[in-house]
Amino acid sequence: MTATTDGGSGPVRAGSAPAGARTATAGAGPGAPVRKTPAAPPSDPRAAAARAAERAVRHLLDRQDEGGWWKGDLETNVTMDAEDLLLRQFLGIRDERTTQASARHVRGLQREDGTWASFHGGPGDLSTTVEAYVALRLAGDRPDDPHMLRAALWIRGQGGIAASRVFTRIWLALFGWWRWEDLPELPPELIFLPTWFPLNIYDFGCWARQTIVPLSIVSAKRPVRPAPFALEELHSDPDEPCPPRRMAPATSWDGLFQRADRLLHHYHRVAPRMLRRAAMRSAARWIVERQENDGCWGGIQPPAVYSLIALHLLGYDLDHPVLREGLASLDRFAVWREQDGLPVRMVEACQSPVWDTCLATIALGDAGVPPDHPALVRAADFMLGEQIVRPGDWAVRRPELGPGGWAFEFHNDNYPDIDDTAEVILALRRVSHPDPARIEAAAERGARWTLGMQSRNGAWAAFDADNTSPFPNRLPFCDFGEVVDPPSADVTAHVVEMLAHEGKADHPRVRRGLRWLLAEQEPSGAWFGRWGVNYVYGTGAVVPALTAAGLPPAHPAVRRAVAWLESVQNEDGGWGEDLRSYRERSWIGRGESTASQTAWALLALLAAGEHDGAAVRRGVGWLAASQHPDGSWDEPQFTGTGFPWDFSINYHLYRQVFPLTALGRYLHGGPSTGPAGPREGA
């Protein structure tokens, strides 16, 4: 599949905004503009909501694939496009059509100051800008072109290539633009560490694990392919392009790991050849065993890219079935469109059909679409076919647990997602399927797997249980994003909500999860959002879970959440939160109103019994007023996260499914208490 359904009114790029919209400016501080036009609730909010919901239902139904699934574009940043071109350059398969189409996408997202950001409206990001610059050089852009001069000037002002993150410098080292000796060491012998030993590969989150294993081969091989051009213009000091690293005090954790890295560099020079060859063979076997049926690894682009490079370095030629299918899978991550009559190509980091389909099913069901509607039955058939019935890496820590989860992507049997599993079960329960026993069996199996994936602290993470080692994030190699998978409030909330609706509100594990959620509430009344931006997302997930598990709307935790949401509502009636809230507390709950974030706030308020409250009426009014005639909403803002702050996502279907869910629950009510009824406490 080389094109995907956008889920909005058409492709929306990270650098564009709807006509007339105001967005937070790059690098702006707490005074960044937020829509301030006061908006009174509509005179008849129910009528406005009904019209908006009807249009949104039609829009969403029209976008369902014949296979029963929905999938919106998953937009991240231009490092995906740059690294795709660098991979093709390294393997000798880069073609001019792909290069120019990718360059048009990259070029179109450059800002006036010469930079590229990692999210819409965000500040310039050094590593993103370096990789985008190199991609455009591959496409033939000249270093003395005005847009390239601006980029290079900004890069040098930020410290040049030397200040970029490790993964960017790895890409540059592949072509001799950076020295391998000046990168942190990652020995392939890691593959031999037992699971009880610190820093074994299963101490890393699944996305990091899948990347680190192939990179350990690349690090050992240290390949250099001839560079097609030089990059002196990107060094702040061309006479010393690789300045010495400053060492932290030896008594600190950072200092300890820096000195350990020095020892590993020495080990690289003296490593026993037989041991190293055996380690690389074991790592290669680990990689090949985890290739999915569609040729990809883990359903995400970065591990696939590094796995292809690692295996190629070990002698796998491009016609080998593993590499051939792997490269074909990457082609399916490309979204092609036309702009001014020319092809433009955007590379997705991942694809989200299971996640989008379960959320769309919930939205349509809550909006009043009959549970036996053919579209919902087709969606249920697709989801039933995607249940994973074999063990994956999660079984390393849960060897006695039977499988039964769902993944995020079309093919990712090794890494089912606890979050997806919870939402799929909630979606399946909204469908009147002609074979109800299939729904029952799948939901029961999925719930049992989910219960078994609870971590020791009573909460749930995304992919693994008890993946909380403090050491991986300390490694000099790991300077980008999260490399472990600790429990989060949003995932735990979705699990608690699902299990409550499965009649397990009184289960001891659910009560432990509920107590954990209550303990995690911020003094403000909000909850942190790990996989969505940010406190609006976390709070929008937790409050429906609390009431589903039986807490009454009058519970103090619910009331504090309501008060916080009311306090951060924008004057236009919507809600928004900028990604900078992950770094700057002054941004918490602040940002231009978006369709998805407004819906998340409404879902919490409705679950808290605020159906007739002024905040709800104003929020519903904003959704109705901001909707396009075709039933869609615009949302250039990034409201999803891969890693908080470091890797942000614009899920193009979020702007459709969450507003419809909120409107549906406003109009028809919705699941707010579990089968066991309300309780006063956890």
Strand 640-643 relative to strand 74-75: parallel, antiparallel, unpaired?
unpaired
No. of helices (H) and no. of strands (E), the chain: 22, 5
Distance CA 265, CA 281 (A): 21
Residue 252's region, left for phi above 0, alpha for psi from -120 to 50, else beta, is beta
Whether 197 and 228 map to the same domain: the answer is yes
Domain assignment present for 40: no
Model pTM?
Answer: 0.90
pLDDT at 671: 67
Whether 188 and 134 map to the same domain: the answer is yes
Whether 271 and 391 map to the same domain: the answer is no
Q: Which tokens hold the place of 277?
A: 């060859």
Residue range 511-548, pLDDT digits in tens: 999 999 999 999 999 999 999 999 999 999 999 999 99
Q: Is 568 helix (H, G, I), strand (E, B) or coil?
A: coil
Domain assignment present for 480: no
Whether 139 and 182 map to the same domain: the answer is yes
- CATH number of the domain where residue 169 is located: 1.50.10.20
- Please identify every residue annotated as catalytic: 419
Residue range 46-89, pLDDT digits in tens: 999 999 999 999 999 999 999 999 999 999 999 999 999 999 99
Among 45, 46, 53, 49, which Cα is nearest to 367's? 53
Is the pLDDT at 620 greater than 80? The verdict is: yes
Whether 440 and 329 map to the same domain: the answer is no
Residues 6+ apart with CB under 8 A from 237: 160, 243
DSSP string for residues in 154-210: HHHHTT-GGGS-HHHHHHHHTTTSS-GGGS----GGGGGS-TTSTT-GGGS-HHHHH
Q: Return the biggest CA–CA distance within the chain.
A: 78
Is the pLDDT at 25 greater than 80? The verdict is: no
Whether 192 and 315 map to the same domain: the answer is yes
Residue range 434-473, pLDDT digits in tens: 999 999 999 999 999 999 999 999 999 999 999 999 988 8
Domain assignment present for 151: yes
pLDDT at 39: 57
Residue range 340-380, pLDDT digits in tens: 999 999 999 999 999 999 999 999 999 999 999 999 999 99
pLDDT at 680: 44
Q: Residue 624 to residues 10, 174, 617: CA-CA distances in angstroms?
A: 19, 51, 11
Indicate the residue among 347, 377, 396 that finishes a domain: 347
Q: Which tokens hold the place of 212?
A: 């680190």
pLDDT at 355: 97
Domain assignment present for 674: no
Domain assignment present for 571: yes
Domain assignment present for 173: yes
Q: Are 367 and 668 in contact (CB under 8 A)?
A: yes
pLDDT at 477: 77
Whether 267 and 148 map to the same domain: the answer is yes
Whether 53 and 97 map to the same domain: the answer is no
Indicate the residue among 315, 347, 379 that finishes a domain: 347
| 250 — pLDDT class (breaks 50, 70, 90) | confident
Domain assignment present for 21: no
**Backbone phi and psi for residue 604, each to the nearest 5 degrees, phi listed first:** -70, -45
Q: Which domain holds residue 657?
A: 45-74+350-468+487-668
Whether 314 and 392 map to the same domain: the answer is no
What is the residue-averaged pLDDT of the chain? 90
Residues 6+ apart with CB under 8 A from 356: 7, 69, 70, 71, 72, 651, 653, 657
Q: Are 326 and 308 in contact (CB under 8 A)?
A: yes
The label of the residue with tokens 């949003």 reads: 490
How many domains are there within the chain? 2
Q: Is 17 helix (H, G, I), strand (E, B) or coil?
A: coil
pLDDT at 672: 46
pLDDT at 41: 65
Q: Is the dihedral of CA 300, 306, 312, 316 positive or negative?
A: negative
Whether 62 and 114 map to the same domain: the answer is no
Residues 6+ apart with CB under 8 A from 376: 361, 364, 365, 369, 370, 430, 431, 432
- Residue 415, number of CB atoms within 10 A of its CB: 27
Domain assignment present for 36: no
Q: How would you class 61 by CB atoms within 10 Å of its CB: exposed for 0-12, middle for 13-18, buried for 19 or more?
A: middle
**For residues 269-279, average pLDDT:** 94
Q: Which tokens hold the place of 648?
A: 């942000």
Residue range 646-679, pLDDT digits in tens: 899 999 999 999 999 999 999 998 764 333 333 4
What value, to the nearest 5°, has the Cα angle with vertex 681 and ends 423 and 440?
Answer: 30
Whether 509 and 436 map to the same domain: the answer is yes
Indicate the residue among 317, 347, 377 that finishes a domain: 347
Whether 164 and 279 map to the same domain: the answer is yes
| 26 — pLDDT class (breaks 50, 70, 90) | very low
| 27 — pLDDT class (breaks 50, 70, 90) | very low
pLDDT at 11: 30
Q: How would you class 621 by CB atoms within 10 Å of its CB: exposed for 0-12, middle for 13-18, buried for 19 or more?
A: buried
